A and B are shown apart, each in its own frame.
Chain A
Amino acid sequence: MSTRIAEPPEELLEVEAPSDDPTEITLMPVGRLRRRGLRAPAWLRGGNAAWIWIGLAVAATGFVLLAIAWGQVAGETEVYLQVPYLVSAAFVGVGVLLIGLTALVIATKEQEAAAHRHEVDELLAAIDELRQSLLETRRSAR
């Protein structure tokens, strides 16, 4: 029984067709767009370790907001005076904490992806080296 392997999905974008025919649609790999200068600055790219520290700092800010909310709420004896602190500092603090954690999760995921891409590039280089040595052997056998 033969098994058919699905084609790998390629990240493509519809961009301006460079050919003479204006009705023709050209699909261009996203990487080429990025090489055209649409890439984010190096420190903003996902794989950068700075994002981990940014995520931790934002999460810490969320905890600080929660601590401020607790301090203010504890200093009031009337519930109606406590509620605004609950909304402005506690809820916002939880939101900021979640933003920081999300940044942390995405940053670590991007770092893993960058490491994976590096491994794949190394594997491709090894395969290419093997192919070159095979061609070399064929040439020398002639």
Chain B
Amino acid sequence: MKRLPLATADPWRVSVGLLLTAAGAGFVAMVLGWRGAAARTSVADQVPYVVSGAMGGLALVVFALAVLVVQVRRRAEALRRADLGRVRAAVADLAAEVRLEAERGR
């Protein structure tokens, strides 16, 4: 099986990297929109740059950040479940010890 480099082996890291790249791309789109709009002297010619560059870029930033928040919440929830699993295992061990002790006491 082909092994992935450690930096890309963690899906969470990969997703965060992709989402930050998407947010960066949104800002690049805004800069391109500004350049296009600033080079025109007619509002009618500027509007397409505003819509595609500025609004499109902003939409990309909003989307990437919203998904990033969702990813962080999902990871936190997975870690919380893993923590609860550790507690459950410890309580199960303790219960087994108590049961053993009770059987010996009979």
Contact = CB atoms under 8 A, between A and B. Distances in A.
Contact of B6 (A15, A106, A112, A135): A15
B76 A109 contact: yes
Nearest to A127: B90
Contact of A80 (B6, B41, B62): B41
A131 B76 CA distance: 29
A31 to B, nearest CB: 10
B87 to A, nearest CB: 6
B87 A117 contact: no
A79 B1 CA distance: 60
Interface residues of A, number: 48
A95 B26 contact: yes
Nearest to A8: B85
B65 to A, nearest CB: 4
Interface string A31-61: 0010000100000000000000000000000
B9 A14 contact: yes
Contacts of A106: 68-69, 72
A67 interface: no
Contacts of B3: 14-16
Interface in A76-90: 79-80, 83-84, 86-88
B18 interface: no
Contacts of B30: 87-88, 91-92, 95
Contacts of A19: none
Interface of B: 1, 3-4, 6-7, 9-10, 23, 26-27, 30-31, 33-34, 37-38, 40-43, 46, 49-50, 53-55, 57-58, 61-62, 65, 68-69, 72-73, 76, 78-88, 90-91, 93-94, 97-98, 101, 104
Interface of A: 5, 7-11, 13-16, 23, 25, 30, 33, 38, 79-80, 83-84, 86-88, 91-92, 94-95, 98-99, 102, 105-106, 109-110, 112-113, 116-117, 120, 123-124, 127-128, 130-131, 134-135, 137-138
